[in-house]
Amino acid sequence: MKPAGAGRPRLSSRQMLQSAAEELFFEKGYAATTVDDITRRAGVGRSTFFNYFPAKSDLLWVELDAAIDRLADELAAVPPGAAPLAAVRDAALRVAADIGLNDVPLALTQDDVMGTREETRSSGLARLALRSDVIAGFLARQCGGRPDDLAVLAAANALSGAISAAWTAWAREGIGRGPLLDYMTAAIDIVSRGLEESLV
Q: Are 180 and 167 in contact (CB under 8 A)?
A: yes
Query: CB within 8 A of 140, min separation 6: which ones?
Result: 146, 147, 149, 152
Measured from the CB of residue 200, what is the shortest distance to a copy of itself in angstroms? 7
Contacting positions for a copy of itself (CB under 8 A):
54-55, 83-85, 118, 121-126, 128-129, 132, 139, 143, 148-151, 153-162, 164-166, 168-169, 172, 183, 186-187, 190-200
Q: Are 38 and 24 in contact (CB under 8 A)?
A: yes
- According to the binding rule CB under 7 A, does residue 193 interact with DNA? no
- According to the binding rule CB under 7 A, does residue 33 interact with DNA? yes
Binder of DNA out of 12, 115, 125, 154 (CB under 7 A):
12
In Å, the largest CA–CA distance within the chain is: 59
Residues 113 to 142 in contact with DNA, rule: CB under 7 A: 119
Query: CB within 8 A of 19, min separation 6: which ones?
Result: 4, 5, 11, 42
Residues that bind DNA (CB under 7 A): 12-13, 33-36, 43-48, 50-52, 54-57, 119
